[in-house]
Amino acid sequence: MVDVYIEQLSQHVGESVTLKGWLYNSRSSGKLMFLILRDGTGLCQCVASLADVGEEAFETAKSLTQESSFTVTGTVRKEDRAPGGYEMDVKEIELVSLAHEYPITPKEHGVEFLADRRHLWVRSKRQWAILRIRHSIIKAIRNFFDNNGFTLFDSPILTPNAVEGTSTLFETEYFDLGKAYLTQSGQLYGEAGAMAFGKIYVFGPTFRAEKSKTRRHLTEFWMVEPEMAWFDLNDDMKLAEDMMEYIVQTVLEERKIELEYLERDTTVLQNVKAPFPRVSYDEAVDLLHSDKTKQLFEEREKSISEEKDALLAELEENKAKYNQSKEHVKRRMDAREIEINSRVAEIEEELGNLPQWRESALNFERGNDFGGSDETALTWHFEKPIIVHRYPTAVKAFYMKRDPENEERALAMDMLAPEGYGEVIGGSQREDNIDYLLERIKEHGLPQEVFEWFLDLRRYGSVPHSGFGLGIERTVAWICGLKHIRETIPFPRMIYRNTP
């Protein structure tokens, strides 16, 4: 008998095969048992009848508890109403291990309860879908760069100096050499790679000791950071556009089922095709100050208030029908209640924040950096990602080149994802003049001696060059339509959590 995975069932319709996995859910109907088996690639409803499997096997099927491991052998058939579109008529069933009192049940659980059991939470359909999409995003990024002549260039995790400012460093003792720090970015090392290979990308974990509790921050996250010799800011922005289009369109093609599980409205994702709108920093500030922004805040408040009312009405309707419903319907209602309560809490939080966000946008002071709520307001003006460029030099890093037409502006750019998700890419043309770079290092109060190797890149054959960094987790959050970044990585690390 051939062993197959659920994602391969379409190739075995009418054949007898064996599936191996865990019980996701089950229900009984007299002499029939409906077992939802998950195997890591999908879900399959396995129908066991007393007449086909015999009394002993049928009792085994009835004894299965949530997350018990078992194998089934039977005939595959097409069934559009079933999870995944295929069913199995079971002939044989074998228990491998009976799970006792699995802690994550269909009833409502708090976020901390689930986070404490993240090692089990990742088995749920929602988390499975998110992490499968994460896999496709990472694979698409690698394919994009590999197919466009880039070389993977690994940067160190332990570094002797800061890249993005000293206040967010994780510090450790490094033998007799003093302090070392967990990397904030591989970008400086990536510049060395660009001078050797022309076009490279760094891909790995990065660490920021930011004492932030927002929905957008992790202390450990993954970034891809391309660096390109001979690229100016316009080249940099075009590469970022092309890459983002490739990522999103790949996910839409490969992960239809997962996006459906997440109930993701893909309308905006389908619009992610280059070119994207490009807005200068000063134009962006004008947008924040506009009457249109005031109107968009009013529309947002009205929209989510109506959504909240509709959800609460649905909840009351379900409660009225609950006691008269069958057990499998009750389980669906329980799961839906969790979703509704979670979404209502998110809406209430946003309704509480909107007045402050509105004031921040309408009274934004030119010369400051945009906050998360300001980025959110800017994205409401567009239906696809936007690129904001030429930021004030005072709010950008020392290595960013200044605009020769306006010394108060840096040749920097950020890509902001639509639907309020904000920055997913940050980049710039790099300063290639050693004298100007030395000035920047002094202005930022950084020790020149730890950057001597970096300055060598300007001493020996300096050329115009550019790069950017894309945050994997923020990109996953946007593409999946998630409200909190903690679900975007298998084991999130935040200022209040470093377990499991």
pLDDT at 259 over 90: yes
Q: Token pair for residue 235?
A: 């080249």
Of 66, 97, 128, the one marking the end of a domain is 97
Q: Is the pLDDT of residue 238 over 80?
A: yes
Examine the pLDDT at 355 and tell me if it is beyond 90: yes
Give a yes or no: residue 191 inside a domain: yes
CA nearest 92: which of 121, 63, 71, 122?
A: 71
Q: Which has the minimum average pLDDT: 29-38, 177-186, 205-214, 360-369?
A: 205-214
Task: Mark which of 65, 97, 129 sits at the end of a domain.
Answer: 97
Same domain, 261 and 317: no
Strand pairing class (151-152; 199-207): parallel
What mean pLDDT is predicted for residues 24-31?
A: 92
pLDDT class of 168 with cuts at 50, 70, 90: confident
Mean predicted confidence (pLDDT) in 200-209: 96
Q: What's residue 384's pLDDT?
A: 95
Is 370 a member of any domain? no
pLDDT for the residue 180: 93
In this structure, the answer to whether residues 399 and 268 fall within a common structural domain is yes
Query: Domain check: are 436 and 473 in the same one?
Result: yes
SS (H, E, C) 189-250: HHHHHHHHHCEEEEEEEEECCCCCCCCCCCCEEEEEEEEEECCCHHHHHHHHHHHHHHHHHH
113-166: per-residue pLDDT in tens?
999 999 999 999 999 999 999 999 999 999 999 999 999 999 999 998 766 666
pLDDT at position 165 is: 61
pLDDT at residue 410 tops 80: yes
Rounded to whole angstroms, the Cα distance separating 369 from 379 reads 16
Residues 424 and 297 in one domain: no
In a domain, 250, yes or no: yes
- pLDDT, residue 7, reads 96
Angle at 286 between CA 285 and CA 288, to 5 degrees: 65
Is the residue at 109 inside a domain?
Answer: no
- Tens of pLDDT, residues 457-474: 999 999 999 999 999 999
One-letter amino acid of 14: G
Looking at the fold, whether 177 and 33 belong to one and the same domain comes out as: no
Question: Do residue 148 and residue 65 come from a single domain?
Answer: no
pLDDT, averaged across the chain: 95
Q: Are residues 120 and 248 in the same domain?
A: yes
Q: Assess whether 132 and 255 both reside in one domain.
A: yes
Together in a domain, 203 and 69: no
For 403-441, letters b (16+ CB in 10 Å) and e give beeeeebbbbbbbbbbebbbbbbbbbbbbbeeeebeebb
**pLDDT confidence bin for 83, thresholds 50/70/90:** confident
pLDDT at 426 over 90: yes
How many folded domains does the chain comprise? Answer: 3
Answer yes or no: is 496 within a domain: no
pLDDT of residue 164: 63
Residue 323 within a domain:
yes
What is the reported pLDDT for 366? 97
Read off the CATH number of the domain in which 201 is found.
Answer: 3.30.930.10
Q: Do both 130 and 218 map to the same domain?
A: yes
Banded pLDDT at 332 (limits 50, 70, 90): confident
Q: State yes or no: pLDDT of 203 exceeds 90.
A: yes
CATH of the domain at 47: 2.40.50.140
What does the block give as tokens for 307? 């959504």
| Exposed e or buried b per residue across 182-211, where buried means at least 16 C-beta atoms within 10 angstroms of its C-beta | bbbbbbbbbbbbbbebbbbbbbbebbbebe
Q: Which residue has the tokens 């009750």?
A: 330
**Tens-place pLDDT, residues 300-323:** 999 999 999 999 999 999 999 999
Q: In which element (H, E) is residue 110 found?
A: none
Q: Is the pLDDT at 216 greater than 90, yes or no? A: no
Structural domain contains residue 495: no
In a domain, 105, yes or no: no
**Sequence-ordered alpha helix ranges (H) in 323-433:** 327-362, 372-379
- For residue 161, the model assigns a pLDDT of 77
Of 165-169, 240-244, 364-368, minimum mean pLDDT range: 165-169
User: Which residue has 């649905």 as its token pair?
Assistant: 314
My answer on whether 86 and 142 are in the same domain is no
Which residues are CB-contacts of 20 (< 8 A; sequence separation ≥ 6)?
3, 39, 69, 70, 71, 96
Domain boundary among 97, 124, 145: 97
The pTM of the full predicted model, rounded to 2 decimals, is: 0.94
Provide the CA 101 distance to its chain's centre, in angstroms. Answer: 31
Task: Name the 3-class secondary structure at 466.
Answer: strand
Containing structural domain, residue 31 = 2-97
Q: CB count, 10 Å around CB of 55?
A: 8
- Report whether pLDDT(110) > 90: no
| Residues 386, 482 within the same domain | yes
